[in-house]
Amino acid sequence: MVWGHETMPETGIDVRGPRFGAAITTAILFVALVQALAGSASGAVAALPLSQRAADPGFVAVAIAAALFLWGVLSPRTAPWGVMFRRVVAPRIGPVREREDPRPPRFAQGVGLAVTAVGLALHLAGVPWALPIAAGAALVAALLNAAFGVCLGCLMYLGLARLTQR
């Protein structure tokens, strides 16, 4: 996934960019998880009308995270964390030393979108604890990437790529 210094092509993305985005996503998902837990604490999600489920602060916070994942899938060059990294952060932390194929991180954004979208849909359907579980799962994945450089979605992409090449 990461190319060595000697053979670093001019294409690809700075490996630090997705980790920067994952750090911000971690913060957003932490807030979403706290809000989702607060809304699910009573366990009465199924008894609420659809309009109240959609207006729940946890639902709104997870929906914002899902929208950002969608943006990262559809237009990664214009996604806010990538733009912020390229314009503000990268010039201050030095030149690119390693680049990576942009496809695995983009796929990982799609995985984050799928996880949060399922949580949102199940919450709207009245499934208790679906929203905090989805927010928590996405949070763990983002935190692993931000803190340790372990991108679960990227690993899934590479595993699927290997399976399809057989």
- How far is Cα 87 from Cα 103, in angstroms, rounded to an integer? 21
> Which pTM value belongs to this model?
0.90
Q: What is the pLDDT along the chain (166 residues), one digit of tens a residue?
A: 444 444 445 689 999 999 999 999 999 999 999 999 998 877 788 889 999 999 999 999 999 999 999 999 999 999 999 999 999 999 999 999 999 999 999 999 999 999 999 999 999 999 999 999 999 999 999 999 999 999 999 999 999 999 999 7
- How far is Cα 71 from Cα 19, in angstroms, rounded to an integer? 17
- How far is Cα 146 from Cα 128, in angstroms, rounded to an integer? 29
